[in-house]
Copies of this chain bind each other. A is one copy, B any other.
Amino acid sequence: MDEERSRYKDEMIRRKARQDAAVAARKIEEKGLLIVYTGPGKGKSTAAFGLMMRAMGQGWKVGIVQFIKGTWDTGEKRAFARFADLLTWRTMGEGFTWETQDRDRDIAAARAGWQAALELMNDPEMRLVVLDELNVALRYDQLPTDEVVAALQSRRPSLHVVVTGRNANPDLMAAADLVTEMSATKHPFAAGVKAQAGIEF
């Protein structure tokens, strides 16, 4: 047992040493990150909400634009009402495209959303801006990808931006500092469980 503990301890010390060496070998800097949450799995917008929560816990001013979702009175929205001192929330989407079935209206909503995004990103007090479902607006060509990526790249260096939604554009992923792909290893809708308040919205 003592031998086992000793081996365990040695392994933990070796692991820590390797980690320290790897970190020391790199140039370390602090900068605003461009974060992309994409993929078919659940948790993309949810992770963005968690980041907003964390950032507001640090006292940061945070902004969010919802590009595609409609104006539902969702759980997160009511929860974020407790952060009215720190949070600016803009919902520009008209609902998913297969609900509106009107491309001109979708494009107008996406443009209004992008305008709101630019305003938030240009606000010097904002430290984190979330562009929820922007990937979907780009995917359906509701916004010019090159213009969007250029604006994200030329943002103020200290500003963190999170972009969510399936099918992230390759140019956007190339410009990003952090890309997490959420893959749906198991999805409850496939097992016949419906979307539920508190969990899905």
Q: Please tell me which stretch of A25-33, A111-119, A144-152 contacts chain B, meaning at least 4 of its Cβ atoms lie within 8 angstroms of it.
A: A25-33
A56-98 to B contact mask, C-beta < 8 Å, 1/0: 1110100000000000001111111011000000000000011
Name the interface size band of chain A.
Answer: 35 or more
Contact residue among B29, B42, B51, B82 (Cβ-Cβ distance under 8 Å from A83): B82
A183–B179 Cα distance when bound, in Å, is 8
Bound together, the chains give a CA A5 to CA B97 distance in angstroms of 12
- A39 — nearest CB in chain B belongs to which residue? B183
Residue contact A15 to B75, C-beta cutoff 8 Å: no
- Determine whether the beta carbon of A49 is less than 8 Å from that of B53: yes
Q: A82-B82, A186-B179 are in contact. Are A194 and B28 (CB under 8 A)?
A: yes
Contact A186 B201 (CB under 8 A): no
CA A4 to CA B127, docked complex, whole Å: 40
What are 19 A-B pairs at a CB distance below 8 A?
A5-B103, A15-B98, A19-B98, A23-B189, A29-B192, A29-B193, A30-B193, A30-B196, A31-B193, A50-B51, A50-B53, A51-B199, A54-B74, A57-B79, A58-B197, A60-B198, A173-B186, A179-B186, A181-B182
A residues at B contact (CB < 8 Å): 4-5, 8-9, 12-13, 15-16, 19, 23, 26-31, 33, 35-37, 39, 41-43, 45-51, 53-58, 60, 74-80, 82-83, 97-99, 101-104, 127-128, 160, 173, 176-189, 191-194, 196-199, 201
